[in-house]
Amino acid sequence: MKNLPDKTVERLSQYRRSLNNQLTKGKTNIFSHELAHLLHITPVQVRRDIMLIGYSGTLRKGYDIKEMINLIGKIIDTDEGQRIAVIGMGNLGKAFIHYLHEKGSKLKIVASFDVNPDKTDKTYAGVHCYHFDRLAEIVKKEEINIGIITTPPEVVPQIADKLVEAGINGILNYTPKPLSVPDEVYLEEYDMITSLEKVAYFVKHRD
Amino acid sequence: MKNLPDKTVERLSQYRRSLNNQLTKGKTNIFSHELAHLLHITPVQVRRDIMLIGYSGTLRKGYDIKEMINLIGKIIDTDEGQRIAVIGMGNLGKAFIHYLHEKGSKLKIVASFDVNPDKTDKTYAGVHCYHFDRLAEIVKKEEINIGIITTPPEVVPQIADKLVEAGINGILNYTPKPLSVPDEVYLEEYDMITSLEKVAYFVKHRD
DNA sequence: TATTCCCTGTTAAAAATTTAACAATAATTC
DNA sequence: GAATTATTGTTAAATTTTTAACAGGGAATA
């Protein structure tokens, strides 16, 4: 499959979640306008995304929910499921682990890291916390290929270097410290303060 | 000032943070390419954003850091500073409070809410946690105008309703449950699982 | 069986965002 | 003081994303 647009990929993840939800409610088919309504987007956008992934619904019956869930899985997930590490076991790191814990997602957080001895060598929601010194070792052993960084910003560049060195393929940086990594590593950054200041701006300038 | 593009607003927040950082290092002026380098974006983008906010640097000396910080403040902040509430005192809520605690930001988290009696009537990092039943009362008393939702997804719609009813002007929804609010309320949504699945997708399809 | 209606799939247009191109000009060099 | 260099500000082009428009066709209706 040709590479999908960024935004479509984001929505696929959300479609899947909504669809799973509908499935548990006993629904088997869904119209573009229904799915759109659930995500508060437009039906056209739904249909366009579905077109891009090469799926087809049936006229007047909409889309088969199970089929769509499976297809999205084929697009996003790998067969083995990707294995993830969280670096930094503060509140944000814990939130992540907690978030992924219940879901039947293919994404598995299999290790966490910290330097604080109060946190290392303990297990939180089924995820063991190792000392950061053991990063390379554990990444290899556990076949981790994605890292989520939730540490204080000062140490982010070194952490990223270590992750890349250890052979990770994707990084999700949740700190306010912008990062750059080699081209072959996929990087996604998100800054909580920025999104809050964005809200502040648009609240101030609304009308 | 005419309304700025979404993305420019996001970057302004990041410029300011970087600039403050440079200021503490004793730097007084900065070139577009330097600022660009700090955020890992292009110099053109920096210059264009600066153009949009109507600021000018001086040729060969770059931009005056203090002036820019002040200007960005005038654009994003209000004189009194906006007052924020966090709804849901789980790990994510705590992360937010912690994050904003140290910063000299104009944004102030002045209250938090939960329904769990283990959490209510306590203070975390200087922020008092009230029972959710008191939302309307406290929002009024504390003149809160922005709410951050970090609760379990099931209860999000009711919470949003209550926030809107209480007269809030902006909502930052961190749950995976899409929300819709009246037009006069600014809504920003962010979904941690989605961004993780996005990384997973691009890692899988990289090159 | 003809007609209407609803919903999909897709192409085309519009809007938002990023990137490129370059003119202007102050400082520096020769 | 002429030529070169570095850096800004801005217009234009390219890219990405969203929205609109509408043809097609199966189901329902009559």
Distances (CA, A) of A123 to A82, A111, A119: 20, 9, 9
Which residue in A has a C-alpha nearest to residue B171's C-alpha?
A199
Closest chain A CA to residue B178 = A39
Read off the pLDDT of residues B5-35 as tens digits, 9 standing for 90 and up. 999 999 999 999 999 999 999 999 999 999 9
Residue type, B114: D
- Whether A2 shows a pLDDT value over 80: the answer reads no
Q: Say which nucleotide is closest to residue A50, CA to C1' distance.
A: C9
Is it the case that residue B118 has pLDDT exceeding 70? yes
- Structural tokens at position A36: 């759109």
Six-digit token string for A201: 């701006």
CB burial string A171-185: b at 16+ within 10 A, e below: bbbbbbbbbebeeeb
**Residue range B164-198, pLDDT digits in tens:** 999 999 999 999 999 999 999 999 999 999 999 99
Mean predicted lDDT score pLDDT of chain A: 95
Q: What is the pLDDT of residue B101?
A: 81
B205 touches strand D (CB under 7 A): no
Position B207 pLDDT exceeds 90: no
Q: Provide the pLDDT for residue A60.
A: 86
Give residue-wise pLDDT tens across range A137-182: 999 999 999 999 999 999 999 999 999 999 999 999 999 999 999 9
A59 CA to C1 C1' distance (Å): 21
Angle between helices B65-76 and A192-204 (to 10 degrees): 60
CB contact under 8 A, A98 and B82: no
**pLDDT for A103 beyond 90:** no
- Residues of A within 8 A of B200 (CB-CB) are 76-78, 82, 106-107, 146, 170
- Calculate the angstrom distance between C1' of D16 and CA of A126: 41
Q: Residue B152: name the closest of A111, A103, A206, A117 by CA.
A: A103
Query: B62 vs B105, which has greater pLDDT?
Result: B62
Structural domains in chain A plus CATH codes: 6-75 (1.10.10.10), 83-194 (3.40.50.720)
